[in-house]
Amino acid sequence: MYHCAVEPYMKTYFSKGDLGDVMIRVYQRGLQSLVSRFGLSSTARTRNTFNHNFSISIWNMIPEVRERLNQMASGNPKVPYEQYVIDQYLQGKSNLKLLSIGCGSASHELYFAEHGPFELVHGVDLAPGLIRQAQSKAEEKGLTNCRFEVRDFNELAIPESYDIVLFHQSLHHFKDFEAIYSAFVVPVLKPDGYLVLNEFVGPTRLQWTRAQLKASRKMLKQLPEKYRQILNTPFTKRTVSRPGIFRMLLSDPSESINSQQIMPATHQHFKVVEEKPLGGNILHLLLKDIAHNFCTADPEAQAWLRKCFEAEDAFLRDHPDDFVFGVYCKP
């Protein structure tokens, strides 16, 4: 079973890296993207964050990172966790229903709809732009078992029951897990159904531990400058910082708002069927904004990427993982 972090939650309200990060975002997205944050409600800022199709450079866009995560979740670098769930838990079943809260553009939900025994894959999200993408992709694939809706979870009333409730990198955008689990997930999940999580469960508000920052900065300094070029800018990544909470509130008030409490709350309300740590403690920070430099078969880039993997593996020997894949059932 996953063991929760024991290091205290540290708070940085203003970070040295905040100004640099703002400059990068303005350069990538334009000044209007920053100005538009002011005067919006917290819900509107969250919606605005996910409602734009900006190019980003994040760790799990790298094919070798995805294979690493597959290996951790399914035991096979070529088998994603979605297929693993289908193979291990849904064989011989039919006419199932899946509900995904915070489905985004629904790439994972569409996989379940295309390859699993589902008569309905139902996804909801705050961002209209992402829901339009999900609907378009479903149409392109000729899938008729999908329903995607723009809905606010706080206003969500679900009369149906589901065989699978899925949170893929969305649960950490919620604060009150008692309300989510007791008042919503438990009532809509069938008695023999499964809660499936693929989640960030690391430091609340991304307040990275000193040990994370030290290990990430050490590895970053070793990388040649050409692999530290920040996407769509003339800038080079020089350090790894803990984001300031005020900047996070301006950007997306929901980001990792209570993420350290996800696992305790999940274990309180559900029985663990299986749970697998997925790392991310170093790679997530280290490769932010520079991951695109490793999306290549170039031998030198691949050699440096393996060194990054080694740095994370060394760190994980003494620290709990920031990302987790888990399957749960009602007690």
CB distance 216 to 286 below 8 Å: yes
- Does the pLDDT at position 65 exceed 90? yes
pLDDT band at 302 (very low <50, low <70, confident <90, very high): very high
Q: Which residues pair with 198 in a beta bridge?
A: 168, 325
**pTM for this entry:** 0.89
Q: Report if residue 5 sits inside a domain.
A: no
pLDDT at 30: 61
* Number of structural domains found in the chain: 1
**Tokens standing for residue 327:** 């399957």
In angstroms, the Cα distances linking 215 to 57, 197, 286 are 20, 27, 9
Residue 105 backbone phi and psi in degrees, to 5 = -85, 0
pLDDT at 258: 95
The mean pLDDT value for 251-273 works out to: 93
The mean pLDDT value for 153-158 works out to: 76
pLDDT at 27: 58
pLDDT band at 237 (very low <50, low <70, confident <90, very high): very high
pLDDT at 212: 97
pLDDT at 1: 55
Instruction: Give the model confidence (pLDDT) of 15-63 as tens digits.
Output: 777 666 766 666 556 655 555 555 555 555 455 554 454 557 899 999 9
Q: Report if residue 191 sits inside a domain.
A: yes
Average pLDDT, the chain: 89
CB distance 146 to 123 below 8 Å: yes
pLDDT band at 6 (very low <50, low <70, confident <90, very high): very low
CATH number for position 288: 3.40.50.150
- Does the pLDDT at position 140 exceed 60? yes
Burial environment of residue 66 by CB neighbours within 10 A (0 to 12, 13 to 18, 19 or more): middle
Radius of gyration for the chain, computed over Cα atoms and rounded to the nearest angstrom = 20
- Does the pLDDT at position 12 exceed 90? no
Which alpha helices (H) appear in 186-298, and where do they start and end?
186-188, 210-222, 245-251, 262-269, 283-286
Q: Report if residue 120 sits inside a domain.
A: yes
Helix/strand/coil for 196: strand
Q: Report if residue 198 sits inside a domain.
A: yes
The mean pLDDT value for 297-316 works out to: 98
**Tokens standing for residue 115:** 């390859």
Q: Which residues pair with 277 in a beta bridge?
A: 324
- Does the pLDDT at position 249 exceed 80? no
Rounded to 5°, the CA angle 251-254-257 comes to 120
Picking from 173, 243, 240, the residue whose alpha carbon sits closest to that of residue 213 is: 240
Q: Look-up: residue for tokens 């990198």?
A: 169
pLDDT at 45: 43
Instruction: Give the model confidence (pLDDT) of 92-106 as tens digits.
Output: 999 999 999 999 999
pLDDT at 53: 47
CB distance 311 to 215 below 8 Å: yes
The mean pLDDT value for 111-121 works out to: 98
| Separation between Cα atoms, residue 194 and residue 271, nearest integer Å | 10
Q: Report if residue 100 sits inside a domain.
A: yes
H or E segment at 31? helix 31-35
Q: Report if residue 270 sits inside a domain.
A: yes
The mean pLDDT value for 291-312 works out to: 97
Q: Report if residue 3 sits inside a domain.
A: no
- Does the pLDDT at position 119 exceed 70? yes
Q: Report if residue 239 sits inside a domain.
A: yes
The mean pLDDT value for 249-270 works out to: 91
Most confidently predicted of 35-49, 95-109, 154-168, 239-253: 95-109
Question: What domain range is 149 assigned to?
Answer: 16-329
